[in-house]
């Protein structure tokens, strides 16, 4: 199944939201582990060190509900 650029962008917003919620402790350890495994399958090239870069951290922190609608 091929995704349109718009769909890829929507998936990226969802992933950023999940990562932000995980950083804020919204999930139990078991849930966080399951979500991290799913993230690794979608973006296997992204290591935890890369996720902590200032650019990706500021993007995830600026995520809001309004952004998801656009």
pLDDT confidence of residue 60: 44
pLDDT confidence of residue 66: 46
| Nearest by Cα to 17 from 9, 50, 48 | 9
**C-alpha 67: how far from chain center:** 14
Q: How far apart are CA 14 and CA 53, in angstroms?
A: 19
pLDDT confidence of residue 53: 47
Which residue's entry shows tokens 């939201």?
A: 17
Q: What is the pTM of this model?
A: 0.53
Question: Phi/psi zone of residue 25: left (φ > 0), alpha (ψ -120 to 50 degrees), beta?
Answer: left
| pLDDT tens string 54-67 | 554 444 444 444 44
pLDDT confidence of residue 69: 44
| pLDDT tens string 13-26 | 998 999 899 899 99
């Amino acid at each position: 199944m091929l995704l349109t650029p718009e769909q890829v962008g929507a998936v990226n917003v969802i992933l950023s939201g999940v990562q932000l919620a995980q950083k804020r402790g919204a999930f139990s350890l078991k849930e966080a582990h399951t979500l991290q495994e799913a993230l690794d399958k979608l973006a296997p090239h992204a290591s935890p060190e890369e996720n902590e870069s200032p650019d990706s951290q500021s993007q995830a922190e600026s995520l809001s509900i309004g952004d998801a609608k656009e």
